Structures are given as C-alpha cells and as structure tokens.
Structure 1
Amino acid sequence: MKSRIIVACGTGVATSTLVHQRLDAFLKKNNIDADVCQCTYTEIEGNITPETKVIIASSKVADEIEGVPVLVSIPYISGIGIDKFEEKILSYLK
C-alpha cells in the first residue's frame, strides 16, 4: 500500500505546486513510490486517508491533524535547510 503525502497551501495552486514539484523530485531520487495529494488548507481533513503519513503545509496550520504530523514547507520554498527537512519527510515514510 502506497504512503500518502498531502501538500497544502492557501489556494492549493501556487506554493503547493512548487512544493509538490520538489517533493516529487526528492521521492524519485530516493525510489519512493508515494501518492502526493495537493490541496488547500480547508481540504486537508477531507484528503486524509489511513495511508497518510505526513502533511506538508506552506504555513503553520497545526502540529498534527487527525494524528498526522504537519511539516512547514519553508525549506522547499527558501532553499535553506532542505537536507534536514527531507530527513524528516523520510522518517515519516519509513
């Protein structure tokens, strides 16, 4: 069963698209087959499934939602701290 990652921002378009692209490249580089769902903040809860391992949001929405940890995607946006950020993502997917 594939892990699911939710990528969210205010509109579900601009920032989440950039994060989704960088996340896809990271997953491919690490041979991880995961389902990535892109949405708005208000759509997060409706997109959580039992396979959801992590939520990546463009701003601090919560520490977790329905038991799923939330990471803030600033490293993917700013380019600073990407290695540590990707280590956190991997820790949730293992």
Structure 2
Amino acid sequence: MANGKKRIMFACGSGICTSTAVRKKVEAMLDENGYKGQYEITQYKISECPAQSVNYDFLVATTMAPAGLKCPYVNGIPYLTGRGTDVPNKAILELMAAE
C-alpha cells in the first residue's frame, strides 16, 4: 500500500465508459465500508494493464483478465448488470483488508 493507500486500477476496453460507471459504484461501496480516503484509483485501457499492474494492489475490470497481469483481478461485470455484486464486493473488501 503506497502512502498507506491501496492503489486500484479500473479498466475496460477504452478506459473510459464502463470503467467509470463501475468505479463510481465501487467508490460508494468502499466509502460505505469505512475506506473513504484509503485508496487511489486510476483508469486504464485493458491493454495497458499488464504493464501497469506491478504498481497496483488490484484490478477491477469489465473485460476478461489480461495475460501477464501482476496483481489480483476482480470481475467488474456484476456492477454493470446489477446482479451478483456481493461476489466482487467481498473480493474487493478482502483485498482492501489485506496487508
């Protein structure tokens, strides 16, 4: 954790549209669970993630995990569908609690 904050990557095909929607939902969930101010978020195109991943604690993406990823991956699709968000929420909260 850099500066005491978790570094989180968000990604989709373009690095803009669906990752922004998912980011807002995850930020709200993290803040509701007491993590406000304890994370830094950067958005990328999924193609940029393998090279950048060494600098991050985990990736939340609306695509499949890219080959060569050096950090844990969380499937962000449930945030778009509104179904099954308990699974990525649990994974993200576990990653936030991990040292």
If the length of structure 2 is used for normalisation, what is the TM-score?
A: 0.82
Q: 1:11 aligns with which of 11, 14, 23?
A: 14
Name the CA shift for 1:64/1:26 in 2 (closer, same or farther; >3 Å): farther
- Aligned residue for 2:72, secondary structure, equals strand
The C-alpha deviation readout for 1:48-89, integer Å capped at 9, x for no partner, is 354x221011111248711x1111111101011112220111
Structure 2, unaligned stretches of length 5 or more?
none
**Structure 1 gap ranges (5+):** none
Aligned-residue Cα RMSD (Å) equals 1.8
TM-score by length of 1: 0.86
Match of 1:29 in 2: 32
Between the aligned partners of 1:6 and 1:28, the Cα distance in structure 2 is 17
Secondary structure of the corresponding residue to residue 15 of structure 2: coil
Query: For 2:24 and 2:17, how far apart are their aligned partners in 1?
Result: 11
Runs of 4+ in 1 over 4 A off after TM superposition: none
Q: Which residue of 1 aligns with 2:43?
A: 38
Q: Give the equivalent residue in structure 2 for 1:56.
A: 60
Structure with greater strand percent: 1
3-state secondary structure, aligned to 1:65: coil
Quote how far apart the aligned CAs of 1:37 are.
1.0
Q: Match for 1:53: what amino acid?
A: D
Q: Which amino acid aligns with 1:15?
A: T
